[in-house]
Amino acid sequence: MNMKPKQPYGNSRNVTKILTGRAYWDMEHVLRKRLRTAPQFVDNIELEAELRGHNGCVNCLQWSDNGQILASASDDFHVMLWDPFRHKQLHDLVTPHEGNIFSVKFLPKRSNSLLVTGAGDCKTFVFDINRQNDYPIRQCSCHTQRVKRLATSPRSVHMFWSAGEDGLVLQHDLRQPHDCRGQDANVLIDLRSYVLAAPEVKCIAINPQRPEQLAIGANDIYTRLYDRRMISPGKLDKSMNVDSANATDVSIPKDGCVKYFCPGHLGSKYQAAHQLGDIYQYKAVTYLTFSPDGTELLANMGTDHIYLYDITQSRHPLFLELPKFPSTPDDGNGNGSECANAADAATVGKEEKTKHKFPPDVELLKKEGNASLEKDHFLQAINKYTQAIQKVNGKDCAIFYLNRATALMKRGWYGDVYAAVRDCHTALRLDPHYVKAHFRLAKALLKLEKSKEAQICLEELVRRFPSYAKNPGILMLEKDIGIEIEKARHRTTMGRNPDIENDSYSEKEKVRVLQESCVVALCVSHVYLCLNIQYWRSMSLDYEQRYIGHCNTKTDIKEANYFGDSNYIVAGSDDGNFFVWDRHSGIIHSIFQADELIVNCVQPHPFTCMLATSGIDHEVRLWSPQSPEKPALRRLHNVDNVVDDNQTHMQNDPFDSIAPDQAICRAS
C-alpha cells in the first residue's frame, strides 16, 4: 500500500513559507522579548544613570529603531541624542523652535538620521542629524495651536502625522513639497466641525501592525480610532469658527470610519458638567499607544485612570443584563455562593454555603482578602480576590467576583462602582442563582444613579426568589430606589415648569434646578453637539482592564506604555513616581521614585530590560536590573499610602498644589 509522505507544513512548497511557518523560526527573538521582562529582571530594576544636559523640563523621549540612541527634547528648545549604554551625549541639536518641544520622533528605517519635532510654537521640523548644521530640511506651520504629539509608522517610512490643540491632525508626506499656504490637502482629521468649544487633540498613535488605523485622544472622554482608508485628506479651512453652532460642515462621521472608546461609567452627566466648565470634572486623553501586536489600545486619561481597550473583540458598556434563569424551585437559601461579608448576610439572607472547595493556596487568598476587607484595606482586598480569580482561571469563582465588587463599592474611587457592576454581572453569569449578586448589582446601579435599572433588577430578584420578598434588606433597598425615582420625577417636572420659588424645595435643590436649566439651554443652543454626544455615547466601546494608582492631573502629556513582552504597563505620576502594573491583573507590581515633582515620560527600550524616564526635572534617568545585593534605594514599599494619596489628589483642583515656579510646566 503506497502512502503519501506526511507534509507537516500543509501544502506549501515555497521554502520561505515553510521556514517562516515553523514555530521556532524566530526563537531567539521570542526568547529575547520574554527575557527582557522576566520577573527576576523586573524585580531588581533600579536607577542606573542620570543623563544631564537639558536646562528645562524634558517633555518627550524616543528610542531609535535599533535601540542604540535615545532622543530627548525639552522646554529649552534642544533635542539631545544619547548613547544609553555608555551614558554619553552624542549630539546637541539646537532647534529653531520658539516654544516648548512636546514631541520628538525618529522616522523609521531611515538609518536613524531623520528626526521630527513638534512644539508649542505650532510648528513641526524635520532634521537630518547627519548634516553638519542643525537647519531643518522641512518645516510646517499649518497648525494654529500647539503641536502636542507626533506619530510615525514602520510601514510608512516617508510619512508622519501631527496632532495639535487646534483640533487638527495633519498628514505629512516627505515625498511631496509643502509651503504652508493652505493649498495642500494635508488635513486628515478636523474635530472643529462637530465638537463644541475649542477641541484640542492631545495625542496620536498609529497601529504598528495595521498602519491604516490611527487613534487620537482629545480634551474629552473619548478615544477615537479611525480607518485612514476611509478618509480623504482635505485642505485647511481657516475660516472655520469653532464656536459657531451653524457650521455647515457639521456631520456625524461615516459608519466604519471611526470607533469610539470610553469607560462605561463616563456618560452624559459628565458631558453636562464639562460643558459648564467644572474644573473638577475635566478629563482628557493624554497619551495613546497600541500594543506591539496591534490588538489593544492603551489610553492614559487625565483626572482618571489608565484604560486598556481591546480593538478586535470590543465590548459595549454593561449596566443591566441579567442572565437567563433556570426554572428550578427556590429552596429559601437562593442556592447561591458564600456571602461576601457579614453585613450582607444580615441584610439579605442567611449565610449561604460555598459550592466549591478551593485549593489551599486559593483558600488562603480568600481568607486574606476577607481579613483586609474587614479592616477597610480595600486595595489589598481587591488584589487578593483578583489573584484568587487568576488562580482558578475564572471558573467556579463567583464568590471572588462578588467579594471584589463589595470592596470596590466601599472604596469608591473613580469608576469603582461601575467596575463593581461588571463584577456582579460576571458573578451572575457564573452562578445565576447567586442572590447576593442580584442584590449587590441593584445597589451598585442605584449608586450609579441608574434608579430604573436598579428597580428592574430588584424586582427580578424577588420574582426569581420569592422567599426574599419580605427580607429587611430588600425592603430597605426598594425604599431607597423609590425615593430616587421620585426625586428624578420631580426634577423632570421642574425642568418643564421650573417653579423654583416653591418653598417645598430646599436651597440645594433650587441650585441644582438652575444648573440643569443651564444645561438644557446649552443643549438647545447647540443641538448638533447634543446629537453627536448621544451618538458617541451610544457607539462607545468599553474597556477590558484598568490600571489604578498613579495621579494624572497636573500635565496633559503624561504617558502610559507597554513594557517588554506586553506583560507590564508603565506610566508616570504627579507624585514624582513611575508605576509598573501587571498587564493581565491590573495589580501594581512596583513603584519607583524618579523625579522631584512630576514624571511625564516612561519609555521602555525596544530590546532590553531598560526604561528611560523624564519629567519636570532637567535630567533623563535610565533604569535597568541591578545586582540584588545592592540596596533598593528608589523602589517604594508603602504602596497603599502612595495610592491613597494619589486618589485623594485626583479629586482635588489639579492646579491648587502647583507652585509659581512650575508655571512654565503647568501647560505641558
Mean pLDDT to the nearest integer, 563-578: 92
Residue 54, helix vs strand vs coil: coil
Instruction: Name the more confident of 183 and 114.
Output: 114
Instruction: Name the more confident of 34 and 662.
Output: 34
Residues 583-608 have pLDDT tens digits of 999 999 999 999 999 999 999 999 89
Burial class (CB in 10 A: 0-12, 13-18, 19+), 382: buried
Instruction: Name the more confident of 503 and 170.
Output: 170
pLDDT given for residue 110 in this prediction: 64
Q: Residue 25: pLDDT above 50?
A: no
* CA–CA gap between residue 106 and residue 71 (Å, rounded): 8
pLDDT given for residue 547 in this prediction: 97
**pLDDT confidence bin for 499, thresholds 50/70/90:** very low
pLDDT given for residue 351 in this prediction: 37
* CA–CA gap between residue 367 and residue 361 (Å, rounded): 10
Instruction: Name the more confident of 325 and 143.
Output: 143
**pLDDT confidence bin for 247, thresholds 50/70/90:** very low
Give the rounded percent of residues in the chain with a pLDDT score beyond 90.
56
Q: Tally the residues of the chain.
A: 668
Residue 71, helix vs strand vs coil: strand
Instruction: Name the more confident of 434 and 332.
Output: 434
Lowest mean pLDDT among 106-110, 337-341, 429-433, 553-557: 337-341
Q: Which of 275, 260, 255, 272 is nearest to 317 (CA)?
A: 260
CA distances from 240 to 166, 237, 244, 524, 656 (A): 11, 6, 8, 21, 35
Instruction: Name the more confident of 245 and 465.
Output: 465
pLDDT given for residue 508 in this prediction: 52
The amino acid at 439: F
* CA–CA gap between residue 492 and residue 515 (Å, rounded): 13
Q: Which of 498, 413, 405 is nearest to 443 (CA)?
A: 405
Q: Residue 502: pLDDT above 50?
A: no
Residues 625-643 have pLDDT tens digits of 998 888 878 999 999 999 9
Mean pLDDT to the nearest integer, 254-262: 80
Instruction: Name the more confident of 654 and 429.
Output: 429
Give 228's DSSP letter: G
Q: Are 597 and 618 in contact (CB under 8 A)?
A: no
Q: Are 548 and 413 in contact (CB under 8 A)?
A: yes
- What's the whole-number average pLDDT of the chain? 81
pTM to 2 decimal places: 0.84
Mean pLDDT to the nearest integer, 468-482: 91
Burial class (CB in 10 A: 0-12, 13-18, 19+), 40: exposed
Domains, the chain? 54-238+250-318+542-650 (2.130.10.10), 360-493 (1.25.40.10)
In three-state form (DSSP H/G/I as H, E/B as E, the rest C), the secondary structure along 184-217 is CCCEEEEHHHCCCCCCCEEEEEECCCCCCEEEEE
**pLDDT confidence bin for 511, thresholds 50/70/90:** very low
Most confident of 178-187, 428-437, 536-545: 428-437
